[in-house]
Structure 1
Amino acid sequence: MDSMKADMRDEPQTDFIYCSAAVTEVLKFGPCKLHSGHKVLFLIIPGNPGVVGFYRTFMQTLHSMYEYQYPVWAVSHAGHCAPPATMDMVEDASAAEADVFGLNGQIEHKLAFIRKHVPRETSLVLVGHSIGCYIILEMMKRNPELKTLKAVMLFPTIERMSQSPQGKVMTPVLCHMRYIAYLPLFLLSLLPETLKAGLIKLAFGGINSLDHTVIQPTVGLLSGDCAANAMYMGGQEMRKVLERDNITIKNNLEKLIFYYGATDHWCPVQYYHDIRQDFPQGDFRLCENGFRHAFVLDAGRQVAKMVVEWIRGALRT
């Protein structure tokens, strides 16, 4: 009976809402609505593509390891999720005016989500992945009143993105050639779901311990404009994520934990050494487990267990 209860608590709810006038998917483990009695919320800010389904195993592990006492939510990037049949990608013209699918728009989108859906009394444990880390730093900069207990930065792309090994390859693609990719993406979107899933399994075939919960979210990404919106945001990342924001890092150093990959082509090990040199008092960790930048593909559970250990003390205070 107890295991049945645990299983039910491990079942998340998915909500589709409009936030900043753009369709947004919110994956929720634990309570679906927060009130002032909820002391802490874990909020996941994804990488790009900002698809919350990729983080399901990671979130489920966080939720269960804290014995289901803290809600764990993830908010998608605006326009990176296929809307249900009853919703359009945008609610009205204000989404285009605010460039909500661009990098700045996505930062404002997360702040708007917190203002509307998180009580002021609730403290936040922010967990960012990749560009989600840059977004978190910007959120802390733009709203210093944000009640952040800890901000965990996983594989952080917070500087010199276009100069990284992967950035040098992807910058021309995302900034100058992305329109060429739109036709094949459109054609892929017309395929039956089962065929899409088969192609994705084939593409992921080289990953021995693949987390199969990522298959369906990837299928969703190939529907409609989601992948195009992700590429548009990626182009802006290459142009805008340049210098590291040392002022915001310094102002929040005691709240920040950074975890760098040892073989991460988006933020090479040199970036880890540079930031450690600039902030010798900071909490900077280098992966010793060989996890890939896209850790959600095969190591969501293991990374979640590490995060639990890192911040256990902060939740006791």
Structure 2
Amino acid sequence: MESQITQNTFCTYTGPRFEAETTVFFISGNPGLIGYYHPFLSLLAQNLAEPSGQSKTAYQIYGCSLGGFEVDERTSLDGSRFQGNKDEPELHDLEDQIRFVHQRLTAVMGESNASDASDPPVPRKRKVVLIGHSVGTYIAMEVVKRHREAADVSDFDIVGGVMLFPTVMDIAASPSGQKLTRLLSFIPRLALVVSFFARLLTLVLPATALRSIVRFVMNDPPVHALDTTCNFLQSRGGVKQALHMAADEMRSITSDKWADDVWGVAHAREPITKMFFYFGVNDHWVAEKTRDDIIAARGEKDGSGPRMFVCEEGLPHAFCLKHSETMARKVAGMIQDIRST
């Protein structure tokens, strides 16, 4: 796959493309627009291109918008395309997004393995490190589970995962989850109502006025976040898709449903997937009790299991708005740790 940075896709390399034996595959949170993460992914590539150790590994860094969040040209989960206002965008629930990401990962790895005839041959079994943010961590865990179930027919290994501000359990118990659940009980068709008013707002207001309002509400965000939010609000189905998916998250993200091998416990069957979890403090999408319960039940013990950290620097859940540099440096270290084993 060629390097590209668009509204819907991010792909770059830390060295010659044919030398990239490891793909870092990023899965966004909700709303699932990859544009929010462009600076983070670019900085991550820079950090990985300058490793602190002696050996140097070439990486492919890839991410794309989740299904239903694509800007301008949209691609449905079955691969068909539709544009303009001719068709109403299909709404995708959490299971749809898991299948979408799993299929996209398989497609990206298939393209990576199909090297040009002029390039040196690439290793048959390539390596993948997943990065998930927010609900992207839940999707990542499910992708690991399904990949391991089909490992015998796969031509790549998922060797690690980095879970940022992970909403992998009991999301409805979080402060924002409780508010959303109450709101959905009062307005069952919340996605339709809010998307109608958002659409009306974007039709009535000039683009400059919309940008000014978004800038004020978001407290003067950086340009990439401002542009992406305006694109999100002006898209045909983005707002409805975000709320439809959020409602399904409240129903689906509950108890721990994964076996030890998905969590990367050392006594589980090979190959081991090395996992890192990075939690926030006072994260409005992860209850403090939920975070502490996950660390107590699943955290590393006697050198086995995922390594879990609680942020000591006060980084917010939406780190991709103003804290990409700090997070990119931390994540690069975790990825290098994964690939060093």
TM range (shorter): 0.7 to 0.9
Q: Give the gaps of 5 or more residues in structure 2.
A: 51-57, 114-124, 266-272, 301-305
Q: CA deviation at 1:72?
A: 1.3
Q: Which residue in 1 is equivalent to 2:268?
A: none
Distance 1:233 1:34, change over 3 A: farther
CA distance in structure 1 between the aligned counterparts of 2:21 and 2:286, rounded to whole angstroms: 34
Equivalent position amino acid for 2:292 in 1:
H
CA distance 1:71–1:171, shift in 2 (3 Å):
same
Question: What SS is found at the alignment partner of 2:193?
Answer: helix
Q: 1:133 to 1:174 in 2, by over 3 A?
A: farther
Alpha-carbon contact 1:174-1:232 (below 8 Å) kept: no
Q: Residue 217 and residue 231 in structure 1: after superposition, are their counterparts in 2 closer, same or farther (change >3 A)? A: same
Partner of 1:243: 255
**2:279 corresponds to which residue?**
260
Give matches, 1:32-43, under 5 Å: 37-43=19-25
- Indicate if the aligned counterparts of 1:47 and 1:128 stay in contact, CA closer than 8 A: yes
Pair 1:219 & 2:230 matched: yes
Amino acid aligned to 1:71: Q
TM-score normalised to structure 1 length: 0.82
CA 259–182 in structure 1, closer or farther in 2 if over 3 Å, else same: same
**Aligned length, in residue pairs:** 287
Tell me the equivalent position of 2:162.
152
Q: Does 1:179 align with 2:212?
A: no
- 5+ residue gaps in structure 1? 1-11, 17-24
Sort the Cα spacing of 1:137 and 1:193 in 2 relative to 1 into closer, same or farther, 3 A.
same
2: CA distance, partners of 1:40 / 1:71: 6
Within 5 Å, give how 1:1-317 maps onto structure 2: 13-14=4-5, 25-30=8-13, 37-67=19-49, 69-84=58-73, 91=80, 101-119=92-110, 121-144=125-148, 145=151, 147-174=157-184, 176=188, 177-190=190-203, 191-205=205-219, 210-223=221-234, 224-247=236-259, 251-253=263-265, 255-281=274-300, 282-317=306-341
Q: CA RMSD in A?
A: 2.6
CA contact (8 A) 1:137 1:249 kept: no
TM-score, length of structure 2 as denominator length = 0.77
Distance 1:126 1:161 in 2: 21
Deviation at 1:230, TM superposition (A): 1.2
Code of the residue aligned with 1:113 in structure 2: it is R
> What is aligned with 1:4?
none
Read off the aligned partner of 1:312 and give its amino acid letter: Q
Q: Which runs of 4+ in 1 moved over 3 A?
A: 87-90, 172-175, 248-251
- The structure-2 alpha-carbon separation of the partners of 1:308 and 1:180, relative to structure 1 and needing over 3 Å to count, comes to same
TM-fit CA distance, 1:70: 1.7
Instruction: State, as a whole percentage, how many aligned pairs show the same letter.
Output: 25
Q: Does the CA contact (< 8 Å) of 1:155 and 1:293 recur in 2?
A: yes
Residue 29 of structure 1: how far off its partner (Å): 2.4
**Which deviations, in whole Å up to 9, do the C-alpha atoms of 1:198-222 show, x marking residues without a partner?**
21111122x6xx4332111111101
Q: Using the alignment, how far apart are the partners of 1:56 and 1:261 within structure 2? A: 21
Quick check: 2:67–2:75 contact (8 Å CA) kept in 1? no
Deviation at 1:250, TM superposition (A): 5.5
CA separation in 2, counterparts of 1:239 and 1:159?
11
Rg (Cα) greater in structure = 2
- Please name the residue that 2:119 is paired with: none
> 2:194, 2:239 within 8 Å by CA — same for their partners in 1?
no
The offset of 1:272, in angstroms, is 2.3
